[in-house]
Structure 1
Amino acid sequence: MTELPEGTGDERVDAVLAGLDRLPGSPVSDHVAVFDDAFAGLEETLTAMDEQ
Structure 2
Amino acid sequence: MTDLPEGTGDERVDAALGGLAVLGELPVAAHVGVFEEVFAGLEQALAAADDRADGVSDVPDPPR
TM-score norm. by structure 1 comes to 0.95
- What displacement does 1:24 show? 0.6
Match of 2:56 in 1: none
- What is the aligned length? 52
Alignment RMSD, CA only?
0.6
Unaligned 5+ segments in structure 1 are none
Report 1 or 2 for greater relative contact order, CA contacts < 8 Å, sequence distance ≥ 6.
1
TM normalised by structure 2 equals 0.78
- Runs (4+) of structure 1 exceeding 3 A deviation are none
Q: Which runs of 5 or more structure 2 residues have no equivalent in the other structure?
A: 53-64
- Asked which structure has the greater CA Rg, the reply is 2
